[in-house]
């Protein structure tokens, strides 16, 4: 194949877009873990001249790997922001984490972007990992491009890859390129370039830099013709003029094709599919051209999100960061107007403004419509808040955090750090609202909740690395209860004589079990004043105190205690005496009532692709779950919801197995349903563990 000329950014005029307008647009780079988003960002920054040399994700030297947690875990754990100038236009790229455990950051970035680039590997078997991401994008009508990355190592045919992608996308996919392949010495094939299906030009990749324009390989013409026809037929579904030309076998003008691509992309009716290899810069400039000519402006995005700004200054916070040197930073997208240092907006004074570039923060004097800016030390601003001239309002469509599916018990290694731990937790939860923490009084634990094991490990890393609070973690204890199987009567006397007034109380009680879920009931059947009325509340108080921990070491529920007789002493009786007598009565009677453990049972709804439903059902059954049935997941094509009742003790690490059998995309939600009896060896093991914990 003979070289003709080198492709440069300015060598090709594409109509239909608005290049060179100076507008500021925002693009989210998203996709599954290991799809190569961070390498792609690095090549974009290099191709645009924002950096002088490309870093390496393997070496941890790329812009997106600057955070300590990202370097330690070898993965992106939060939004990375980089703003560049590209041929007179300003662009901010939001490189978001690929792991489903950090997906809230991805959804937050998508909320404020003008367009998204969905990066995926060239493997049809892995496209299911895109389903939750594409569902979010499509529900929000965000224009998006699919960039099939690592095309240099692709083994599957592009046609098969496109079919697999279409199975998880509700939008029509349009292939913009076909690959040029050549045989390798080992009998395989490698991708060495591509043909652009609109311009009908062929290009050969270079290891770095712009691709070279070459002659169209003759053997590729039939495949290129078929692929181009499919592209035009898809576009003709939205354009009657193009449809008529195809029916009449008239070759359409390229300007019409570019216009249709621009219009249908902006309306989120089609999804262009581009090919490349981000770590080699292959296809990166073609991607940048497509974005430059087709990405909507911030004003159009604001209309899509139904923001009514009336031309006044308004900015939406989509991410909060806490940094040791800069304090609280609120990453914001400016939707209208201009923000300036010292400006008062809705009762908030705009102080220092910074432009993020990875971990670097450059001070700026103003931020105009479309820009992403970090506002320093606005304490009242949270992710999802919109700062307007009238004050702070909540964006109605900002994504809510997913329900927690993994929980750890935390304890500061140094007890002197407990106050510091609380403050640090508030900050990391403000940074990542898909984390949550709570003090669980039933088990006396501090619980950290999130989206998976890695999610919480990164949170623990932040506690130690950013806030100097080392913690110990453990699997949370289950909040068991205990109750009784039979009733009993008990006579209890409390008598002490220590000089002066003594202490005396004598009571008779009857204990009997109640139906499950009733709780505790106290019945007063005293007649004739054998126990004075003013002492009866003390008896109930003593009973309640005892029930906090029964003979099996857990709170006691579902029983009724009736006070039916007793004695008192005119001088020595007191409220404290009757309270102690009640505790003695319960301590002596409870072992006779055949106490048993109750475990909490949750209503669990597990979601995943329909093809994984049988495996999910087996997983649930293997964890002592009672299947209630399954149905299609509302609003999701090809997904099911499996409902079951499951003991809380079986939930702790269930998300690991769920993701294992659903290609990493399954999840679940829970709600308390009831308490049920725990018997046999399982009960014996639980009681032993409880006693070991109490002795520790």
Q: What is the pLDDT of residues 94-146, one digit of tens each?
A: 999 999 999 999 999 999 999 999 999 999 999 999 999 999 999 999 999 99
Question: Please, are residues 345 and 355 in contact by the beta-carbon 8 Å criterion?
Answer: no
Ranges of CATH 3.40.50.300 domains, the chain: 20-300
pLDDT tens digit sequence for 167-193: 999 999 999 999 999 888 787 888 999
261 vs 245: CA distance, rounded Å: 16
Ranges of CATH 3.30.70.240 domains, the chain: 598-695
pLDDT category at 480 given cuts 50, 70, 90 is: very high
Ranges of CATH 3.30.230.10 domains, the chain: 482-593
pLDDT at position 65 is 64
153 vs 122: CA distance, rounded Å: 8
pLDDT category at 17 given cuts 50, 70, 90 is: very low
Element holding 453 (H helix, E strand): helix 453-465
pLDDT at position 66 is 61
Place of tokens 């999130």: 450
266 vs 262: CA distance, rounded Å: 6
pLDDT at position 207 is 82
Question: Please, are residues 386 and 314 in contact by the beta-carbon 8 Å criterion?
Answer: yes
The number of residues in the chain equals: 696
Distance of CA 481 to the CA centre of its chain: 32
456 vs 450: CA distance, rounded Å: 6
Distance of CA 110 to the CA centre of its chain: 13
Triad 65, 403, 72: Cα angle to 5°: 20
pLDDT tens digit sequence for 520-572: 999 999 999 999 999 999 999 999 999 999 999 899 999 999 999 999 998 89
Is the pLDDT score of 501 beyond 90? Answer: no
Nearest to 644 by CA among 663, 658, 661, 662: 658
CA atoms within 13 Å, Cβ hemisphere of 131: 24
76 vs 97: CA distance, rounded Å: 5
Phi-psi map region of 567: left, alpha, beta (phi>0 left; psi -120 to 50 alpha): beta
The neighbour count for residue 205, using CB atoms within 10 Å, is 24
Question: Please, are residues 151 and 275 in contact by the beta-carbon 8 Å criterion?
Answer: yes
pTM equals: 0.90
CATH superfamily of this structure's domain 310-394: Translation factors (2.40.30.10)
pLDDT category at 693 given cuts 50, 70, 90 is: confident
- The larger pLDDT score, comparing residue 250 to residue 692, is at 250
Question: Please, are residues 389 and 312 in contact by the beta-carbon 8 Å criterion?
Answer: yes
* Segment among 16-20, 170-174, 459-463 with least mean pLDDT: 16-20
Q: What is the mean pLDDT of residues 220-227?
A: 94
pLDDT tens digit sequence for 21-69: 568 999 999 999 999 999 999 999 999 989 888 777 776 677 766 667 7
Rounded mean pLDDT of the chain?
A: 92
Ranges of CATH 2.40.30.10 domains, the chain: 310-394
Is the pLDDT score of 691 beyond 70? Answer: yes
pLDDT tens digit sequence for 187-219: 788 899 999 999 999 999 998 888 999 999 999
* Assigned architecture for domain 482-593: 2-Layer Sandwich (3.30)
16 vs 632: CA distance, rounded Å: 41
584 three-state secondary structure: helix
Element holding 391 (H helix, E strand): strand 391-394
pLDDT at position 690 is 81
CA atoms within 13 Å, Cβ hemisphere of 120: 26
- The larger pLDDT score, comparing residue 692 to residue 508, is at 508
Q: What single-letter DSSP state applies at residue 670?
A: E
Tokens of 677: 């009896």
Question: Please, are residues 604 and 512 in contact by the beta-carbon 8 Å criterion?
Answer: no
User: CATH number of the domain at 20-300, please?
Assistant: 3.40.50.300
Quickly name the fold that domain 409-472 has: Alpha-Beta Plaits (3.30.70)
Is the pLDDT score of 485 beyond 90? Answer: yes
Question: Please, are residues 83 and 18 in contact by the beta-carbon 8 Å criterion?
Answer: no
By CB atoms closer than 10 A (0-12, 13-18, 19+), residue 218 is exposed
Nearest to 550 by CA among 357, 449, 690, 349: 690
Give, in order, the Cα–Cα distances in Å from 417 to each of 146, 424, 425.
Answer: 47, 10, 12
pLDDT category at 499 given cuts 50, 70, 90 is: low
pLDDT tens digit sequence for 330-384: 999 999 999 999 999 989 999 999 999 988 899 999 999 999 999 999 999 999 9
pLDDT at position 20 is 52
77 three-state secondary structure: coil
3-state secondary structure 147-209: EECCHHHCCCCHHHHHHHHHCCCCCEEEECEEEEEEECCCCCEEEEEEEECCCCEEEECCCCC
Ranges of CATH 3.30.70.870 domains, the chain: 409-472
Give, in order, the Cα–Cα distances in Å from 490 to each of 321, 486, 531, 551.
Answer: 61, 13, 16, 16
- Residue 528 pairs in a beta bridge with none
Place of tokens 């009784």: 484
Question: Terminus-to-terminus CA distance in the chain, angstroms?
Answer: 76
pLDDT at position 16 is 37
pLDDT at position 667 is 97
* Assigned architecture for domain 598-695: 2-Layer Sandwich (3.30)
Sign of CA dihedral 491, 497, 498, 500: positive
Bridging pattern class, strands 172-175 and 270-275 = parallel
The neighbour count for residue 365, using CB atoms within 10 Å, is 9
102 three-state secondary structure: helix
The percent of the chain in helix, strand and coil, each rounded to the nearest 5, is 30, 35, 35
The neighbour count for residue 50, using CB atoms within 10 Å, is 18
Q: What is the mean pLDDT of residues 638-665?
A: 96
Is the pLDDT score of 4 beyond 90? Answer: no
Tokens of 652: 């702790």
Triad 174, 398, 352: Cα angle to 5°: 110
Give me the helix-helix angle, 240-247 and 221-236, nearest 10°.
Answer: 140
The neighbour count for residue 40, using CB atoms within 10 Å, is 27
643 vs 620: CA distance, rounded Å: 9
pLDDT category at 695 given cuts 50, 70, 90 is: confident
- Give CA torsion, residues 75, 79, 85, 90, to 10 deg: 150
pLDDT at position 18 is 54
- Residue 461 has φ and ψ, to the nearest 5°, of -60, -40
571 vs 390: CA distance, rounded Å: 69
The neighbour count for residue 337, using CB atoms within 10 Å, is 20
Tokens of 78: 């939060």
């Amino acid at each position: 194949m003979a070289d003709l000329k080198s492709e440069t950014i300015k060598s090709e005029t594409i109509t239909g877009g608005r290049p060179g307008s100076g507008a500021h647009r925002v693009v989210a780079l998203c996709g599954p873990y290991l799809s190569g988003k961070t390498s792609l960002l690095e090549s974009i920054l290099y191709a645009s001249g924002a950096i002088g040399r490309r870093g390496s994700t393997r070496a941890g030297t790329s812009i997106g790997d600057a955070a300590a947690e990202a370097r330690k875990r070898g993965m992106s754990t939060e939004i990375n922001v980089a703003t560049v100038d590209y041929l007179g236009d300003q662009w901010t790229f939001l490189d978001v984490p690929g792991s489903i455990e950090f997906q809230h950051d991805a959804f937050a970035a998508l909320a404020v972007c003008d367009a998204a680039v969905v990066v995926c590997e060239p493997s049809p078997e892995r496209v299911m990992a895109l389903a939750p991401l594409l569902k979010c994008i499509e529900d929000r009508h965000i224009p998006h491009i699919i960039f099939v990355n690592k095309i240099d190592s692709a083994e599957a045919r592009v046609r098969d890859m496109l079919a697999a992608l279409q199975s998880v996308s509700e939008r029509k996919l349009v292939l913009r390129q076909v690959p040029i392949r050549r045989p390798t010495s080992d009998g395989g094939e490698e991708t060495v370039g591509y043909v652009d299906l609109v311009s009908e030009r062929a290009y050969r990749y270079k290891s770095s830099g712009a691709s070279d324009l070459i002659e169209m390989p003759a053997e590729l013409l039939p495949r290129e013709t078929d692929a181009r026809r499919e592209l035009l037929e898809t576009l003709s579904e939205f354009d009657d003029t193009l449809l008529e030309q195809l029916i009449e076998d008239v070759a359409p003008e390229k300007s019409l094709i570019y216009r249709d691509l621009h219009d249908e992309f902006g309306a989120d009716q089609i999804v262009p599919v581009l090919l490349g290899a981000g770590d080699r810069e292959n296809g990166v400039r073609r991607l940048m051209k497509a974005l430059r000519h087709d990405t909507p402006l911030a004003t159009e995005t604001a209309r899509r999100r139904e923001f009514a700004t009336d031309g006044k200054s308004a900015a939406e916070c989509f991410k909060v960061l806490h940094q040791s040197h800069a304090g609280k930073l609120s990453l914001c997208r400016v939707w209208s107007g201009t923000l300036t240092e010292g400006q008062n907006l809705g009762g908030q004074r705009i102080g220092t403004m910074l432009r993020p570039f990875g971990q670097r923060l450059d001070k700026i004097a103003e931020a105009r419509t479309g820009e992403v800016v970090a506002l320093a030390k606005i304490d009242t601003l949270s992710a999802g808040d919109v700062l307007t001239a009238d004050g702070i309002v909540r964006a109605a469509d900002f994504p809510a955090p997913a329900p927690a599916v993994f929980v750890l018990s935390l304890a500061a290694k140094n007890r002197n750090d407990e106050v510091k731990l609380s403050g640090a937790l508030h900050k990391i939860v403000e940074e990542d609202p898909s984390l949550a923490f709570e003090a669980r009084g039933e088990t006396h634990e501090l619980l950290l909740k999130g989206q998976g094991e890695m999610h919480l490990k990164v949170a623990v890393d932040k506690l130690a690395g950013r806030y100097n609070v080392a913690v110990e973690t453990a699997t949370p204890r289950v909040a068991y209860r205990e109750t009784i199987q039979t009733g009993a009567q008990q006579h209890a006397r409390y008598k002490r004589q220590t000089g002066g007034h003594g202490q005396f109380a004598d009571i008779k009680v009857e204990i009997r079990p109640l139906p499950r879920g009733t709780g505790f009931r106290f019945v007063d059947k005293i007649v004739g004043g054998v126990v004075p009325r003013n002492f009866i509340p003390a008896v109930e108080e003593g009973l309640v105190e005892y029930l906090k921990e029964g003979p099996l070491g857990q709170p006691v529920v579902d029983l009724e205690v009736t006070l039916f007789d007793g004695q008192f002493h005119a001088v020595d009786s007191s409220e404290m005496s009757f309270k102690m007598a009640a505790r003695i009565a319960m301590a002596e009677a409870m072992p006779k009532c055949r106490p048993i453990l109750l475990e909490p049972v949750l209503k669990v709804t597990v979601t995943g692709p329909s093809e994984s439903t049988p495996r999910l059902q087996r997983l649930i059954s293997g964890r002592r779950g009672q299947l209630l049935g399954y149905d299609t997941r509302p609003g999701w094509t090809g997904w099911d919801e499996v409902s079951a009742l499951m003991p809380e003790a079986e939930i702790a690490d269930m998300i690991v197995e769920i993701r294992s059998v659903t290609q990493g995309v399954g999840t679940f939600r829970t709600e308390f349903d009831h308490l049920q009896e725990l018997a046999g060896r399982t009960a014996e093991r639980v009681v032993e563990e409880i006693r070991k914990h109490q002795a520790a």
